[in-house]
Amino acid sequence: MSGLFSLEGRRAMVTGANTGIGQGIALALAAAGAEVLAVGRSSMAETEAAIRDTGGKVVALKADLARTASVAPMLDAAWETHGPIDILVNNAGIIRRAAALDFSEQDWDDVLDVNLKSVFLLSQAFARRVFAAERAGKIVNIASLMSFQGGIRIASYTAAKSGLAGLTRILANEWAAKGINVNAIAPGYIVTNNTEALRNDPERSADILKRIPAGRWGSAQDIGGTAVYLASDAANYVHGAILPVDGGWLAR
């Protein structure tokens, strides 16, 4: 690939790249020419094979982002071992479902740690490295429709994704003039492990599909192209944007 959307010669770290949206993004970035550092706590074998089968470059890195004290050291070690990182995609996330009255403190803390705290710590570690090396960089956060809406039975997830929207904006404000673009993608209802419970509920799934103008659930591949755009030179003047990729859900 050549031109504004090429990622040739760049290195991208993608968290939660073993499955779902993270895997789709990792494949898309690799297809655009980036070397992918695929981060996750589960086996990365499927992602590795898919990228290598198409001639792409990938390195699997084992990390549990719930252990927030290890987040920054993981990025530092990756930078030292594999070379400078140009793109950071903060995709890893978890979800817990329960009515607000029944929501446990543990479920609150677990989701906030992975979905928001680890994103800040990784972004901070990345920015420190980029600035120290006098380089430029791109951060792409994976937000959610819950960055705009409330939802039901997902209190900690909504809080984290709403916080992620604010974090995207404040980091863009502080870092845009220093050479880092910080933006976010807000996926709609995508076929992933996190949405399995919804898709398995015939009534809930039908209600969701009625609201989506595109008439279908999204796929991980639908998110990949947007990530390539935000990671590429085509988005050099895009800062603090939260771009919905939702089949038109928010337009209704």
Domain residue ranges of the chain, discontinuous segments joined by +: 11-192+219-247
Secondary structure, 3-state, the chain: CCCCCCCCCCEEEEECCCCHHHHHHHHHHHHCCCEEEEEECCCCHHHHHHHHHCCCEEEEEECCCCCHHHHHHHHHHHHHHHCCCCEEEECCCCCCCCCHHHCCHHHHHHHHHHHHHHHHHHHHHHHHHHHHCCCCEEEEEECCHHHCCCCCCCHHHHHHHHHHHHHHHHHHHHHHHHCEEEEEEEECCECCHHHHHHHCCHHHHHHHHHHCCCCCCECHHHHHHHHHHHHCHHHCCCCCCEEEECCCHHHC
pLDDT tens series, the chain, 252 aa: 568 999 999 999 999 999 999 999 999 999 999 999 999 999 999 999 999 999 999 999 999 999 999 999 999 999 999 999 999 999 999 999 999 999 999 999 999 999 999 999 999 999 999 999 999 999 999 999 999 999 999 999 999 999 999 999 999 999 999 999 999 999 999 998 878 888 999 999 999 999 999 999 999 999 999 999 999 999 999 999 999 999 999 999
- Selecting among 157, 189, 229, 237, the annotated active-site residue is 157
Superfamily of domain 11-192+219-247: NAD(P)-binding Rossmann-like Domain (3.40.50.720)
157 is catalytic: yes
The whole-model pTM stands at 0.96
Q: What are the distances in angstroms from CA 153 to CA 30, 108, 159, 198?
A: 36, 12, 12, 12
